[in-house]
Structure 1
């Protein structure tokens, strides 16, 4: 194997950047999680508590999820879930660059949970981050993307009021979705491929569904490198039913 100095230096700089990004992420998250910060500072804290706290920050473990009832499993390649009514904080963008709109929407919502709301209240991160997609009428037409964070249980009854234009709290009614799960670092091509696979499975099984709008969902921090969880959701019934 030929030793390549340029690649070696590049790899080391990538590792250094990852390390400092990770530390920054931990620092700023602990700043809004006093209970974790206290545990990490306390000299009597056990190693297991410390590892669990860091794991929550870096690897999205221990985050609240929206409640759902699992339906009878009829196939190996998808599942059926009925999501309970709940409040989500959301923002909507229109255009043709799905990934860029999701990043913009995520930043708006992350600012909201960091305290950029009329109550100046910090809200815990939850999972998944969902994107409700209303496809455009044709290949050269704009689509609509609504990015959402589930609001934790403690804020369901009285969520902080958004202060940034374009950010709103929505009440999602109960809905049933067919869900396909896949791994890796998701991108537009993967989402499209997984959605098509799910639609083919539903046609194969002759079940009732609507092909649009649909949802994509991501559960993991970018710092989680393995066992990542992504999903596509197809609704059983039209949203106005």
Structure 2
């Protein structure tokens, strides 16, 4: 239990945590265009009506993986952000597909330990470019949707090069961090 509390405590702020490498290509009012380097992430996919339930379920599956539920029974440092790929369902009362992911730290990128849970998997994300909107506060379901809509409207005027079939949320902070919170919406460029 002490190691779990210590691990959760290590994410009270995202300072000092490993993060995916990216380059800012351009910056506009309220958003940036970034190029992310190829990287491995540990992921879990689920279907839900609510993003919060999916994120919570995915977080704990992935947290167990970094706490040693992997083939090497190795503890792995927490990273930031916790990203969630959102693939909207066909209608307003349909489940959406959510893939919750933790970035794998640089020292494990070459050969990450395989998960013991058959529903947790190692995902290789190729290099990609994304339009990113950053906002603060405690992001809830409505916050993510409202910020995604704002970014979508801003981009509609400038480009039609955005994937329409999915988008990402990225949260950088523990629920215990009250101030200075960072959240992002990522729209992947086609």
Scaled to the shorter chain, the TM-score interval is: over 0.9
Map of 1:67 onto structure 2: 21
Q: 2:75 aligns with which of 122, 125, 135?
A: 122
Map of 2:180 onto structure 1: 227
- The runs of 5 or more residues in structure 1 that have no matched partner are 1-23, 33-53
Note if 1:145 corresponds to 2:120.
no
CA deviation map 1:117-167 (0-9, x unaligned): 111011000000000011001112211000000000000001011001200
Note if 1:183 corresponds to 2:183.
no
TM normalised by structure 1 equals: 0.75
TM normalised by structure 2 equals: 0.94
More strand by share: 2
Map of 1:82 onto structure 2: 35
Contact 1:29 1:57 in 2 (8 A): no
Map of 2:167 onto structure 1: 214
* SS in structure 1 at match of 2:41: strand
- The runs of 5 or more residues in structure 2 that have no matched partner are none
Instruction: Please provide the CA RMSD for this pair.
Output: 1.6
Larger Rg: 1
What CA distance in whole angstroms lies between the structure 2 residues aligned with 1:127 and 1:187?
A: 18
How many residue pairs match? The answer is 189
Map of 1:92 onto structure 2: 45
Q: Alpha-carbon deviation of 1:210?
A: 2.1
* SS in structure 1 at match of 2:54: helix
TM-aligned CA distance change 1:208 to 1:31, over 3 Å: closer
What CA distance in whole angstroms lies between the structure 2 residues aligned with 1:206 and 1:172?
A: 23
* SS in structure 2 at match of 1:158: coil
Contact 1:135 1:213 in 2 (8 A): yes
